Structure 1
Amino acid sequence: MEERQAMLPPFGAELPEWDATQARVLDAADELIRRRGLGGVTIAELSRRSGLSRPTVYRSWSDADDVVRSALLRRVIRILGSFETPARTRAGLVDDVLRFSARFRADAVYGRLLDDEPEAFTRYTLQRVGSSQRMILAWLATAIAAAQDDGSVRRGEPREIAVMLLLIAQSAVLSHGTVTELIDEVAWERELRAALDGHLRP
């Protein structure tokens, strides 16, 4: 998987790997979501777009929903891979969460879900803690622990603090489109920054 070398150990030691055949299926899933939304992702369409047989797709995934979850996880790994090292201070951590949020919203697949299928985004990202969220939580917890050593983040279990930090950011990102008439982009980022900083401040 091309993204693997971009990741550093603190981002999670157990990164999934997809071979070339699986990557063709995931690329097909990305394209289907962008063009048709989640309703367009079926095993038949994945087979057609990837040029692979249905049995080949089924060898790696149980159903289309399973493929979608893998595709979304791969995109989260790519976004995390764009960060060279975890932050080591509260200011750096808040900056990184805001940068992650911006890249997440700009992502072709996640952006499509946020704009056109927010209920699907909720189903895949909020109703249960899946692999994508666990990857993000590991990234956040690593940075939180480092910033605690720096003294700029309050004491506490890093993973517990990370859970609430993720919930704050996820809620802000999910609700962004519904509050654009009430708050502009600059104010939205300013208030999200204040909320994140307040959660972490000693």
Structure 2
Amino acid sequence: MEERQPADVSNGQGDATRERILDAADALIRRRGVHGVTVAELARRSTLSRPTIYRNWSDADDVVRSALLRRVSRILDAFPVPARSRPQLVDDVLRFTTMFRADAVYARLLDDEPEAFTRYTLQRVGSSQRLILGWLEAAISAAQQDDSVRRGTPRDMAVMLLLIAQSAVLSHGTVADLIDEDAWQHELRAAIDGLLRP
């Protein structure tokens, strides 16, 4: 079954009402987790009516997806220009994973609700992943121009790069007793670089 796409907030903008609802979703996820996000709670926290929420989204799940998409979009705003070489691309991906793990909402999901993180980010490709894939594909294509990234279809390489990064981020807490942070970063860098190296 195809995932419903959340309302478009990929540019980080939106009217004040929508932003209030998404801010409420962020606060609820941080405090109670995904399961605490209901239309009634969103209405209460945003001081808006339930019909107002339903005018923008079909249910609380759609609001959560839009809130997560907005957070990914804001992280990607820190990378306004695609990397132009393999070293720059590897640096950007590592920086993205660091920012992603430090994000208050995603950190809450990773630490306390990994099953929700999996449902919203790994079970099927949604809008957040498509946004990341577009960013990776553009950077891979640009870095191929200076021959520092191997030839290949940028979209295919972006998909595999996304899988590597997502798996590493999701598993980080599981292996924290086996590998320290510096070593984790070093090995993830080596894996990403190895995928892209000519």
What is the TM-score with the length of structure 1 in the denominator?
A: 0.92
CA distance in 2, matches of 1:136, 1:115: 22
Q: How does 1:26-41 map to 2 (within 5 A)?
A: 26-41=22-37
Aligned counterpart in structure 2 of residue 181 of structure 1, from 177, 180, 196: 177
CA distance in 2, matches of 1:32, 1:20: 18
Quick check: which one's helix share is greater?
1
- Kindly provide the amino acid, as one letter, of the partner of residue 45 in structure 1: E
Runs of 4+ off more than 6 Å = none
Counterpart in the other structure of 1:53: 49
- Kindly provide the amino acid, as one letter, of the partner of residue 153 in structure 1: V
Gaps of 5+ in 1: 1-13
Aligned counterpart in structure 1 of residue 158 of structure 2, from 162, 171, 181: 162
CA distance in 1, matches of 2:176, 2:187: 13
Aligned counterpart in structure 1 of residue 144 of structure 2, from 145, 148, 153: 148
Contact 2:12–2:73 at 8 Å: present in 1 too?
no
CA distance in 2, matches of 1:97, 1:132: 15
Counterpart in the other structure of 2:69: 73
Identity in percent: 76
Aligned counterpart in structure 1 of residue 109 of structure 2, from 105, 110, 113: 113
What is the TM-score with the length of structure 2 in the denominator?
A: 0.94
- Kindly provide the amino acid, as one letter, of the partner of residue 94 in structure 1: V
Q: How does 1:7-26 map to 2 (within 5 A)?
A: 15=11, 17-26=13-22
- Note the aligned Cα RMSD (angstroms): 1.0
Number of aligned residue pairs? 189
Gaps of 5+ in 2: 1-9
CA distance in 1, matches of 2:139, 2:65: 25
